[in-house]
Amino acid sequence: MKNMEVGHFYYLKDQYFIDFPDDKLMQNKAVEADGKRHDRPCFYAFLDERTGLYWMIPFSHDVAKYRAYYDKKVERYGSCDTIDFGNVLGHQKAFLIQNMCPVTSEYINNEYIDAKAKVSVRVDGVLEERLKRKAKKVLALHRKGIKLIFPNVEEIEKKLLEK
């Protein structure tokens, strides 16, 4: 994979998890469904203009689980920027900003393509803007020492930038 695009969805190579071992990263796993292999997790990409690195936000189909976490955070703090919800191919998903991680294109395995339409999977513009806004806010706060992201992204980012 040579060119990544903001707002597209990608799968990471296993090598990423070998090069950056961290038990807080959402690990690759493949599942069989309808006799076909389906990689997980899938990540939404946005660009950090400051470093030139892409940041990947995983999403989950377990919306009820993450809705409960989201609701607790909203009840406690009045808002929640670390989890968001939106539709992907007509199905509700939980976007886990709290689990995002930096990446370069060398670690991209493939892009998430709509099997029926044969086009890149995208989200609507409203969700896309909200995800980017929340992710950039969480990243900025994290860089100021407010630990909102579970993986050790500072170390991963440092190693990626050294390459």
Domains of the chain: 9-162 (3.10.129.130)
pLDDT tens per residue, the chain (163 residues)? 558 999 999 999 999 999 999 999 987 766 555 555 555 689 999 999 999 999 999 999 999 999 999 999 999 999 999 999 999 999 999 999 999 999 999 999 999 999 899 999 999 999 999 999 999 999 999 999 999 999 999 999 999 999 8
Give residue 59's pLDDT: 94
Q: How many C-beta neighbours within 10 Å does residue 90 have?
A: 5
Q: What is the pTM of this model?
A: 0.90
Give residue 40's pLDDT: 62
| H or E element at residue 122 | none
Give residue 67's pLDDT: 98
Contact, 105 vs 4, CB < 8 A? Answer: yes
In whole angstroms, what is the distance from residue 147 CA to residue 80 CA? 14
Q: Which residue, among 52, 48, 41, 143, has the nearest Cα to 96 in the 3D structure? A: 41
Give residue 122's pLDDT: 93
120 vs 30, 74, 87, 143, 155, CA distance in Å? Answer: 20, 33, 15, 31, 31
Give residue 8's pLDDT: 94
Burial of 64 (0-12, 13-18, 19+ CB in 10 A): exposed
Give residue 35's pLDDT: 57
Burial of 33 (0-12, 13-18, 19+ CB in 10 A): exposed
